[in-house]
Amino acid sequence: MHDSLALLLELGVILLALSALGAFARRLGLSPIPLYLLAGLVLGEGGIAPVPAAGEFVRTGATIGVVLLLLTLGLEFSTAEFTHSVRRHLPSALVDLVLGAAPGAIVGLLLGLDTVGVLALAGATWVSSSGIVARLLDDLRRLGNRETPAVLAVLVMEDFAMALYLPVLAVLAAGGAWWEASLGVLVAVGAVGAAFLASHRYGHHVNRWLAHPDAEQLMLRVLGATLVVAALAEFVDVSAAVGAFLVGLTLTGEAAERARAVLAPLRDLVAAAFFLAIGLAVSPADLVPVLPVALALAAAGAVTKVVTGWYAAGRDGAGRRGRLRAGTALIARGEFSIVIIGLAGTGHDRLGPLVTAYVLLLATAGPVITRWSGTTPRDRQPTTT
């Protein structure tokens, strides 16, 4: 009885607080993401007002949140459109890898980390947060912008690359042999290839089954199928976000529009939990000693993403403002960076606080920079909704 009372009370207070923060952010014409992240910092362990009863519920909601964010992002495009964009942006992915991983690798060597530590820190500084960027593009109404396909291509290729990177890191961190890492990579690549081929060739059959005329049936079928595919993706060490994105690509036309409409309220709720959970995982006291290094790393990480986005959007013919918007949209880091450090193992205790501070800095600053970059003064007027 007392446990349920505490859970209900804490969740109620959290939702009311998020509502107030969201309304304040909208009045200023900003995305609410930075305020949600800071709220998590206040409510987490070591914060001013911890919420132990609601913590597990929020973390579960966060897992579903990133899945729904990528699902609704996939609903904006068709498989053919995305395939063309990915092929066009293979050079962009290479630029992203080299520039994004370089700051982490250099700092790792300067800190005297071993091979696994350097590899982990390089990955943590490389990969952007698909969840944060997806919500940000929607908040700022940029899904239809010319530079957005380039941003999405870079994001999803990063997620695909995680299918190669994460098994290798996990095996090396556990002291496994090279053949074990190679086997994990082959399984992951095969699974991604099969899923993408199935989405491309048989998506119309899936689309027909999911597109039920009843709104309740549509929501249940799309959500259920997405969670199953996301779970299967996780099972073969591929990002659940990739699986959700592929499900979104299979739905087209009126079915995609109706799916976005029925899923939007649920997506917004669990997406807020996703951003909140990043802050909940942080103890403010652990961040102070590593802030100087984290700030330097964050500055370098922001610059590398701006260059990457500028290059990628330029390949699609975007203008200077569009290139700048693309670059700043990629700044935010999040879920993958935290996962990477978790895989690095207990022998790299210094990495945890450093990467957590790095993620929090860029997850908070990235949306703010994106909001104010590449826009005209008229674009910056506060919204009234």
Beta-carbon count within 10 A of 42 CB? 15
- Residue pair 359/338 in contact (Cβ under 8 Å)? The answer is yes
The reply to whether 385 falls in a domain is no
Residue 72: alpha-carbon gap to chain centroid: 13
CB 282 within 8 A of CB 360: yes
- Mapped onto helix, strand or coil, the DSSP state of residue 100 is helix
Mean pLDDT lowest among 3-12, 77-86, 144-153, 287-296: 77-86
The span from the CA of 137 to the CA of 370, in Å, is 9
Closest CA to 249 of 26, 97, 80, 373: 80
Query: Number of structural domains, the chain?
Result: 1
Give domain status of residue 213, yes or no. yes
Instruction: Report yes or no: 39 and 278 within 8 Å, Cβ to Cβ.
Output: no
The pLDDT score that the predictor gives to residue 314 is 93
Query: pTM (2 decimals)?
Result: 0.75
Whether the pLDDT of residue 346 is over 60: the answer is: no
pLDDT in tens, 102-122: 999 999 999 988 888 999 999
Instruction: State the number of CA atoms in the 13 A half-sphere of 275 facing the CB.
Output: 31
Q: Which candidate, 98, 150, 152, places its Cα nearest to that of 130?
A: 152
Predicted local distance difference test score (pLDDT) of residue 374: 64
128 in helix, strand or coil?
A: coil
pLDDT at 382: 46
**Contact, 62 vs 273, CB < 8 A?**
yes
Residue range 263-288: average pLDDT?
Answer: 82
Distance CA 46, CA 61 (A): 22
Mean pLDDT, rounded, of the chain: 82
CATH number at residue 210: 1.20.1530.20
Confidence grade of residue 384 (pLDDT, cut at 50, 70, 90)? very low
Q: For 33-37, 161-165, 344-348, which range has the lowest pLDDT when averaged over its residues?
A: 344-348
297 or 286, greater pLDDT: 297
Residue by residue, DSSP assigns 161-177 as HHHHHHHHHHHHHTT--
Looking at residue 325, its pLDDT comes to 95
Is 341 within a domain?
Answer: yes
Q: What is the pLDDT of residue 203?
A: 66
Is residue 165 domain-resident?
yes
Candidates 167, 298, 301; CA nearest to 239 is 167
Neighbours of 29 (CB within 10 A): 15
In a domain, 266, yes or no: yes
- Written as one letter, the residue type at 368 is V
Rounded distance between C-alpha atoms, residue 332 and residue 334, angstroms: 7
Least confident of 127-131, 254-258, 283-287, 346-350: 346-350
Residue 195 has pLDDT above 80, yes or no: no
- Count of Cβ atoms closer than 10 Å to residue 368 Cβ: 15
Enumerate residues 6+ apart whose C-beta is below 8 A from 216: none
The tens digit of pLDDT for each residue in 7-39 reads 888 888 888 988 998 888 878 767 788 888 888
The mean per-residue pLDDT over the stretch 237-261 comes to 79
7 in a structural domain: yes
The parent domain of residue 237 ranges over 2-380
